[in-house]
Structure 1
């Protein structure tokens, strides 16, 4: 219940914000948007989603080696909430700061909260599948409700009021997570496969230095006019293709991977590729399909007018049904 409740509010905030993000990018400055061309708005929205999933790889490693699952999810939720609160401030700068914080926070939370669900059950426990079914039900309840609330506020108040609702939802999720922590497996503060003290200090220094260097280089390139938005999107796209290839090569060639484990990896590659195709289609719902809905779809039924972003709630509704 604790983890499912957290996911209700995390998905409420994340997908509620995602449903109006591309519309906010493409809306005119006079109406409170950022005035991007529709194609650029869709590309930037997709790049943001790509960054979230790329950071999840680092988030899983940090939980395993340094933070532990409980703290990784807690810190991730705090970063997500701070990111949404930043986006509630009506300036372009705070929008980019907010998206960066949400990407980092979701990268910590997303892979580790599902791991914590798995820790509640033994592998052979018959309740395990039912537990994950309830957990994913929570995800889809949040995915259904989020766009309804943020979309209504974005359409009738301002986009930043919609982002404020996402911040409020994530805050409720954090409160429930902290209050229900005594029921969680894996709530200990130490990481399950923690690094020894000396390697951990080196890893922390390397992460800190690397973050500073990347930020400095990106800032310098942006100021020099080379790192444009289109080039940033292209760079993330290239990294998103190369990263999983490198990841699989490392896993297949690592001497620490047994022959039995390699045998399990081979069919997983097929599942991975199928998942790529599925998600390639699915996440159009929060970018190109939102733009299509805002200009070419009916937003009125029986005389009731609704925001175009409400179409994003259909995904969660069908899953729940």
Structure 2
């Protein structure tokens, strides 16, 4: 059956393929399970081993360290997860197997045992690595090339992500923190089973997307092993990779802490990715492609900075909320996990407002490039830690800090995320060379994962320097990085070679069409 007929045969609901809503609910329940686990993780680790709801009794620094490794690996595994789907399984089966592995991981976590805890975390990392990058690809596959509904479809899908996050932090957070940690882990697993059942039920609506690649498609794929092989004829690039590998070995023997060999594996992974990226740059045959590729790599550094600060929410800020915030409201103590729902709630409230602001700004001819929005988003998010500085100062004086500092911090973090995160994904599709687009999306997720690891490293320093110093340092660093990017904006935009120059015309055309529709409906 031709692609055109396959698209034509799709059943629709509210103007979109029914498959979109299948993927919406699958991802909603997957994110419910992930963010429910995220809300509980550090609090469970630091909870004392005695009492009605005992935890593992770890130090704050130890729990934040594990949180950093866990959240990094969840995103870094998107690279092999995407490659496995592209080369062997197809996105549809990869999502299925990822969902099954996630169910097993959350199910194992329901057992109160050390082996179960680490086994469950490992399975969740593998499951998310298979599911996360491939379900997004399937959403795009529901729409044929040039279908104007695609952006709206992704917006609907994004609502599912945040709805799952919002529900999880309330429900799983309360059950785990107030009743039993392992009940909370088990509840997250039940949610993932619901997501798997929805996905299995909806297979008939996903017949033409994410299928196993044909032999011809495999032969046309890029061999990343062959790109690494070309390093032998590139002395400078080979030397850089070898230096990183030697540093990895050095880290294994000299770094303090139980995770020293973890850093060895991380640096070797970075060396391999760096080698592939350098070889991709050499294979690009025009100056425009090479310049855009460089800008894209620089934007990934901004991504690492952004998430390195933002992801304090699940680590340092989570522990701070539990131990140093006065959470009494109308005679009831609010669970610490509930504060993590503020991000998802604010996203649902302000997503269209922020998007509308940038659209109006572009229509007026003012600066609204992706790099500019990412820099502004990083600065706004960083300024949210000013409120955490005030909270830490109040705690040092009074012995506890008020809840409203957290609310204001999460508000600024969310506005910054809305300026930066969706834009970064769009920016990749504009600048990445077409034949490397999937890899660059995987590298984006890996950069997000590295940002999560940076968040863990920074959060660990709070036990040494104190929260006040850490929050102040994050604020200063993120604002300085944002200012630096804005100062370099003109040369960076020149290197994009007009990749975003036609967006104002497209917006004007969309507004014109909407106005005509309003006139027709009123008549």
Q: TM-score under structure 2 normalisation? A: 0.52
Residue 75 of structure 2 is aligned to residue 56 of structure 1: no
Inter-partner Cα distance in structure 1 for 2:83 and 2:33: 24
Inter-partner Cα distance in structure 1 for 2:298 and 2:145: 23
The offset of 1:242, in angstroms, is: 4.4
Inter-partner Cα distance in structure 2 for 1:243 and 1:294: 40
Please name the residue that 1:218 is paired with.
none
Which among 111, 126, 146 is matched to residue 133 of structure 2? 111
Inter-partner Cα distance in structure 1 for 2:207 and 2:188: 28
Which among 4, 7, 29 is matched to residue 9 of structure 1? 29
The offset of 1:233, in angstroms, is: 5.1
Cα 1:302/1:185, change in 2 over 3 Å: farther
Residue 274 of structure 2 is aligned to residue 245 of structure 1: yes
Please name the residue that 1:220 is paired with.
none
CA contact (8 A) 1:69 1:186 kept: no
Is the radius of gyration larger for structure 1 or structure 2?
Answer: 2
**Residue correspondence of structure 1 range 216-227 to structure 2 within 5 A:** none
Please name the residue that 1:141 is paired with.
163
Inter-partner Cα distance in structure 1 for 2:38 and 2:269: 19
Which among 281, 287, 291 is matched to residue 309 of structure 2? 281
Cα 1:40/1:186, change in 2 over 3 Å: farther
Inter-partner Cα distance in structure 1 for 2:144 and 2:292: 20
Please name the residue that 2:218 is paired with.
194
Which among 314, 325, 329 is matched to residue 297 of structure 1? 325
Inter-partner Cα distance in structure 1 for 2:264 and 2:43: 23
Equivalent pairs, count: 292
Cα 1:241/1:293, change in 2 over 3 Å: farther
**Residue correspondence of structure 1 range 1-321 to structure 2 within 5 A:** 1-30=21-50, 31-184=53-206, 186-187=208-209, 189-191=211-213, 193-194=217-218, 229-232=258-261, 234-235=263-264, 238=267, 242=271, 244-254=273-283, 261-321=289-349
Which structure has the higher relative contact order (CA within 8 Å, separation 6+)? 1
CA contact (8 A) 2:142 2:209 kept: no
Inter-partner Cα distance in structure 2 for 1:108 and 1:179: 20
Please name the residue that 1:215 is paired with.
none
RMSD after superposition: 2.4
Task: Report the 3-state secondary structure (helix = DSSP H, G, I; strand = E; otherwise coil) of the residue aligned with 1:180.
Answer: helix
Cα 1:6/1:260, change in 2 over 3 Å: farther
Inter-partner Cα distance in structure 2 for 1:136 and 1:92: 35
Inter-partner Cα distance in structure 2 for 1:236 and 1:21: 23
Task: Report the 3-state secondary structure (helix = DSSP H, G, I; strand = E; otherwise coil) of the residue aligned with 1:194.
Answer: helix
Inter-partner Cα distance in structure 1 for 2:337 and 2:105: 21
Inter-partner Cα distance in structure 2 for 1:54 and 1:286: 18
CA contact (8 A) 1:65 1:195 kept: no
Deviations 1:166-202 (A, max 9, x none): 1011111111111112222654642264369xx9xxx
Q: TM-score under structure 1 normalisation? A: 0.83
Unmatched tracts of structure 2, length 5 or more: 1-20, 224-254, 350-523
The offset of 1:263, in angstroms, is: 4.7
CA contact (8 A) 1:15 1:143 kept: yes
Inter-partner Cα distance in structure 2 for 1:247 and 1:152: 45
Inter-partner Cα distance in structure 1 for 2:279 and 2:326: 49
Cα 1:143/1:240, change in 2 over 3 Å: farther
Task: Report the 3-state secondary structure (helix = DSSP H, G, I; strand = E; otherwise coil) of the residue aligned with 2:218.
Answer: coil
CA contact (8 A) 2:46 2:63 kept: yes
Deviations 1:235-268 (A, max 9, x none): 465457546534422322347x776654542332
The offset of 1:162, in angstroms, is: 0.6
CA contact (8 A) 1:44 1:233 kept: no
CA contact (8 A) 2:28 2:162 kept: yes
Inter-partner Cα distance in structure 2 for 1:311 and 1:244: 36
Please name the residue that 1:205 is paired with.
none
